[in-house]
Chains A and B, each alone.
Chain A
Amino acid sequence: DTEVTQTPKHLVMGMTNKKSLKCEQHMGHRAMYWYKQKAKKPPELMFVYSYEKLSINESVPSRFSPECPNSSLLNLHLHALQPEDSALYLCASSRIGILGSTFGSGTRLTVV
């Protein structure tokens, strides 16, 4: 298995909803990442987990809450989002010390 799987592929949510994005990999990678990508823009790093511990938080608002329950799973919990949070959310993973990440296909999030 050489893939990073993200679910759901598409999500529409209201500003008062609570939802979660899920990311899964079975490549034994111990670093996992969340990126946010707006249309026609490059991905922007949000969070980095190394060995299931949060190592980088790029000043992301608290309405985004990451969770890494085990070495294969990475979640992003969403609550009280704003329309400007609509974007493609990409998950990636890599081996610690081995460079270059494997990306998932992303979740297209629309906040209404």
Chain B
Amino acid sequence: AQTVTQSQPEMSVQEAETVTLSCTYDTSESDYYLFWYKQPPSRQMILVIRQEAYKQQNATENRFSVNFQKAAKSFSLKISDSQLGDAAMYFCAYLYNNNDMRFGAGTRLTVKP
């Protein structure tokens, strides 16, 4: 079974600073996909960034980037120049076989002004 672990229940960052959220996963598959989703108080899950396991290059989306270490099964999210609107619950997710997505327990990010 595939499992996703987020070991940081809560994180805090000062506005304009950089923060890194950790995620590890367990799988025996070689071809899979990893995601970071953001869930603000509005409840809607918003896709932040996506990484294909067959790609060695780390994905980047504006202020969001990942550090994907396939051998270590690690997939961390770095948020640069943190903004107040980044405050939310962040979920790491693993997708295998197109339709079956599994989420980690989440990390609550607080951004201090």
* Interface of A toward B, CB cutoff 8 Å: 31, 33, 40-45, 48, 50, 55-56, 88, 90, 92, 96-97, 99-106, 108
- In the bound complex, residues from chain A placing their C-beta under 8 Å from that of B44 are 103-106
User: Which of B43, B47, B100, B104 has a CB less than 8 Å from the CB of A42?
Assistant: B104
B42 and A105 form a contact (CB under 8 A) = yes
B47 and A100 form a contact (CB under 8 A) = yes
3 shortest interchain CB distances as A-B pairs: A42-B103, A103-B45, A105-B44
User: Which of B46, B100, B105 has a CB less than 8 Å from the CB of A45?
Assistant: B100
Interface of B is mostly: strand
A33 to B93, CA, bound (A): 15
Question: From A58, which residue of chain B is reached at the shortest CB distance?
Answer: B100
Whole-angstrom distance between the Cβ of A85 and the nearest chain B Cβ: 18
A41 to B103, CA, bound (A): 9
A-B contact count (CB 8 A): 56
Question: From B35, which residue of chain A is reached at the shortest CB distance?
Answer: A100
B43 and A88 form a contact (CB under 8 A) = yes
The digit string for B80-113, where 1 denotes a CB below 8 A from any CB of A, is: 0000000000010001001111111110000000
Question: From B104, which residue of chain A is reached at the shortest CB distance?
Answer: A42
B50 within 8 A of A: yes
A41 to B52, CA, bound (A): 25
Whole-angstrom distance between the Cβ of B33 and the nearest chain A Cβ: 5
User: Which of B45, B46, B95, B99 has a CB less than 8 Å from the CB of A43?
Assistant: B45
